[in-house]
Amino acid sequence: MLDKNTKIYVAGHRGLVGSAIWNNLWQRGYHNLIGRSHAELDLTCQADVRKFFDEERPEAVVLAAAFVGGIMANSLYRADFIMKNMQIQCNVIEEAYKHGVQRLLFLGSTCIYPKNAPQPMKEDCLLTSPLEYTNEEYAIAKIAGLKMCESYNLQYGTNYIAVMPTNLYGPNDNFHLENSHVMPAMMRKIYLSKLMATGQWEMIRKDLTIRPVGANIREDGKVVRYVIDGNSDEATIIKVLAFYGIEANRVTLWGTGRPLREFLWSEDMADASVHILLNVNFSDIIGIEKYSQVHYGVAADGTVDRNHSTGRGGAIPSLGEIRNCHINVGTGKELTIRELAELVVRTVGFEGDLRFDSTKPDGTMRKLIDVSKLHSLGWTHKVEIEDGVQRLFDWYKQSLEK
């Protein structure tokens, strides 16, 4: 358990998960928190990250910052997804180690698992077969991040724990149509369609003022870039929203609707993350006996010499392979994308036509994780999907009233 005065840096503290982790820590009495916006600190810049650690000297780190998005964004920005995430992870983890940070929590994603992994996916199925192509770059970056944590622990005796959350949603979610995840994008599309059908243009313009929408639309053999906000003319708004499958009383979603997905409320994820940060050590995951052998060495008589740290766990063949030390975080429950859409339709009160475009990619057909390791470490989820979707819609509507 960390002392309440511990200086904790939350990277990505304004994002979906980072903000929830910040609030969870604060509610638990951890008030010595540090956060920097992207404008204040570019985590892809090694020199800037080093300067930040030199000046602030955090004692613990939560690495929740990442370059993220859904299927469309992953397809459009493949180079950005692997490069930016690798830069962020390498810079923060390396500088944390160089500045004596012993406890770090790294947030990944369950997209690290193979496309055809056995369901539910256990931590041990990592790297057993090919990844889903549509998010391969992001997955590879996150795999590198968890391997960095694992390797630093084995070589240097740190407590850098990697958690792999399932699909997250909640307050401060990203509702951007071009690069958001499935649930907020779906909810916004359905709500905007309802507003168009009922002629509520003032609300549509409020939405676009807060969250402008861009689209590259092919016209007369050329690609034209449009960006709409609350001041755009009605005809252009209609054209751009139609590009995203949003029409008055009709919404078209990508894929068949058949893929199965698991969803976790972001504040539940935050609670799990803080529980692990405060209570879980690397030794809890690999076993205290093996951990002692890794970091202290074993004498000829079989006793552990705790006075001499070897720091060379990865170079002790007798211990066997130490891998897959990350922790899945989720609910262990799933529903189809179509079922999710129908739940959102009921929540929003949408009475229009909901369609699925089967010519567009589905992504991985099933992504259910095994959460037995998480449960064994003392944590289970609290918010069920029906309650969570209603909470998200309430938050989204409130964001338009500010």
Coil, strand or helix at 259: coil
- 118 lies in the same domain as 12: yes
Which of the four pLDDT bands, split at 50, 70 and 90, describes residue 299?
A: low
Say if residue 249 is in the same domain as residue 361: yes
Q: Kindly report whether the peptide bond that precedes residue 130 is cis, defined as omega within 30 degrees of 0.
A: no
Residue at 236 is within a domain: yes
CA 193 – CA 195 distance, rounded (Å): 5
- Band of residue 362 on the pLDDT scale cut at 50, 70, 90: confident
Q: Could you tell me if 113 and 367 are in contact, meaning their C-beta atoms sit under 8 angstroms apart?
A: yes
Instruction: Note the pLDDT of residue 207.
Output: 97
CATH of the domain at 254: 3.90.25.10
User: pLDDT grade, residue 320 (50/70/90)?
Assistant: confident
Helix 136-156 / helix 78-98 crossing angle, nearest 10 deg: 10
Are 238 and 317 contained in the same domain?
Answer: no
pLDDT at 318: 64
CA distance 65 to 79: 18
| 163 or 322, which is more confident | 163
Q: Is residue 174 part of a domain?
A: no
Residues 164 and 202 both lie in one domain: no
Domain shared by 139 and 52, yes or no: yes
Confidence of residue 78 (pLDDT cuts 50, 70, 90): confident
Could you give the number of structural domains in the chain? Answer: 2
- Helix extents (H) in 199-243: 201-210, 234-243
pLDDT of residue 366: 86
Q: How many CB atoms lie within 10 A of CB 311?
A: 15
Confidence of residue 272 (pLDDT cuts 50, 70, 90): very high
Per-residue confidence (pLDDT) for residue 134, from 0 to 100: 83
Sign of CA dihedral 144, 44, 329, 374: positive
132: three-class secondary structure by DSSP? coil
Secondary structure letter of residue 296 according to DSSP: H
Computed over every residue of the chain, the mean pLDDT equals 91
pLDDT digits (tens, 9 = 90+) for 87-127: 999 999 999 999 999 999 999 999 899 999 999 999 999 99
309: confidence class by pLDDT, cuts 50, 70, 90: very low
DSSP helix/strand/coil, 111: helix
Cα–Cα dist 95/298, whole Å: 31
Supply the pLDDT for residue 295.
63
Gyration radius of the chain over CA positions: 23
- Domain of 164: which CATH number? 3.40.50.720
β-bridge partners, 103? 60, 159
Give the model's pLDDT for residue 307: 45
pTM of the model: 0.85
* Residues forming the active site: 138
Reduce the DSSP state of residue 228 to 3 states and report it: strand
